[in-house]
Each structure stands twice: as C-alpha cells, then as structure tokens.
Amino acid sequence: MRRLLLLLPLVVFLLMAVFLFKGLFLDNENLPSALIGKPFPEFDLASVEDPERRYTREDLLGRPALVNVWATWCVACRVEHPVLNKLAEQGVVIHGVNYKDDLESARRWLRDLHDPYVLNIFDDRGRLGLDLGVYGAPETYLIDARGIVRHKVVGVVDEKLWTRELAARYQALLDEVEP
C-alpha cells in the first residue's frame, strides 16, 4: 500500500502530461459557432453593385449556399478568392457579404479579381457580421435551402478544406432538396 502511494506523483505527472500534450494540438483559434442549427439572421442591406437594391434573408432561401464574409482589407481573403472563383465555376452557389469595407474598393476587387458571388451584400457597418458572430474575415457559412446555418468555417477556404469539410456537407444539402 505504502509502495503504491509512492507512485502517486508519477500518476499525477502522467495525467498532466496527457492533458498538456493534447493541449498542444487543440485548435482554439476556431471557436464553435453559436449559430449552427439556427436560422441565418434577418437583415436588410444594400447590394454592392447598386445602393438602391436591398437584400433580405428571403433572398438567400430556396437552395443551399455558402455565405462568404470578406473585405478588401483582409489579406487572407485575397488568398481565398481564386478558390471561390473556381467553386462558383463548378456551380456552387456562393453569396458574398462585404464586411465593413469601402464600397469603391469592394467594387474594384470584384471587377479585377472576378466576381464569384450570386448576391453581393454590402454590410458596411458590420451589423449582419455582428448578428452572425463574425470575429475575423474571412468566414464562410453553409446554409441549407430553408436558411438554417449548418456549418461554419473560420479562415481561408482552400481546396483541401473544401474537400475535407464542405464538399460532402454541401452535396448532402443539395440531396435534401432534390432526393
């Protein structure tokens, strides 16, 4: 019994080592979204192309889509943009939320780098961003045809991430609509 007690510090050490080792690989940059399984927030915002044209949540409904939050001041968005172009070319429905940006720069960006978005929503004050729980662009939300948020990606969507996290989910949502 006494002998076993001597092993106690070793046991405690091993326990701590296991937790700390696990901690090394914890990805605490990516917070779980509070919005998963909940409806995409209501909004009423102008389009990037035309200040007269208003978009609301209704405009996003009807088919599964990615909603990509981006800005011209966001360096990673530039890396992400060609990937979005490619996905749009393959027929993936992507809506853009231009987040706290300058309208002219945003228009120039879409003109020069190609526009992969079906709708271009201009969230200049970040109101929609706040309702979405955006804390850093780029962020991408996967919504289903009824406008429920099903998945969220924080950071750049590259091809690896698309195949690993999004492609199957998007396909499943498509199948939900037309079995």
Partner 1 sequence: MRGLLLGILISCLAGVAQAGIVTFEFESEEQRQRFYQLGNELRCPKCQNQNIADSDAPIAEDLRNEVFRLLSEGHDNREIIDYMVMRYGDFVRYRPAFNAQTAALWLAPGVFLFGAIGILVFMLIRRRGNDIAADQSQLSEAEQQQLQKLLK
Nearer to partner 1, 80 or 139 (CB): 139
Q: Does 32 bind partner 1 (CB under 8 A)?
A: yes
Q: Does 100 bind partner 1 (CB under 8 A)?
A: yes
Q: Which of residues 117-136 bind partner 1 (CB under 8 A)?
A: 126, 129-136
Residues 71 and 121: beta-carbon distance below 8 Å = no
Taking the CA atoms of 115, 119, 124 and 125 in sequence, report the sign of the dihedral they define.
negative
Cα(51)–Cα(43) distance, rounded to whole angstroms? Answer: 15
DSSP H helical ranges for 45-124: 75-89, 103-113
Task: Out of 2, 19, 26, 28, name the contact with partner 1 by CB under 8 A.
Answer: 28
Size of the site for partner 1 (CB under 8 A): 16
Q: Least distance in Å: CB of 45 to partner 1? A: 16
Nearer to partner 1, 100 or 169 (CB): 100
Residues 43 and 131: beta-carbon distance below 8 Å = yes
Q: Does 82 bind partner 1 (CB under 8 A)?
A: no
DSSP label at 155? S
Does residue 138 have a cis bond before it (omega within 30 degrees)? yes
Nearer to partner 1, 35 or 84 (CB): 35
Q: Does 15 bind partner 1 (CB under 8 A)?
A: no
Tell me the three state secondary structure of residue 152. strand
The residue ranges that bind partner 1 (CB under 8 A) are 28, 31-35, 100, 126, 129-136
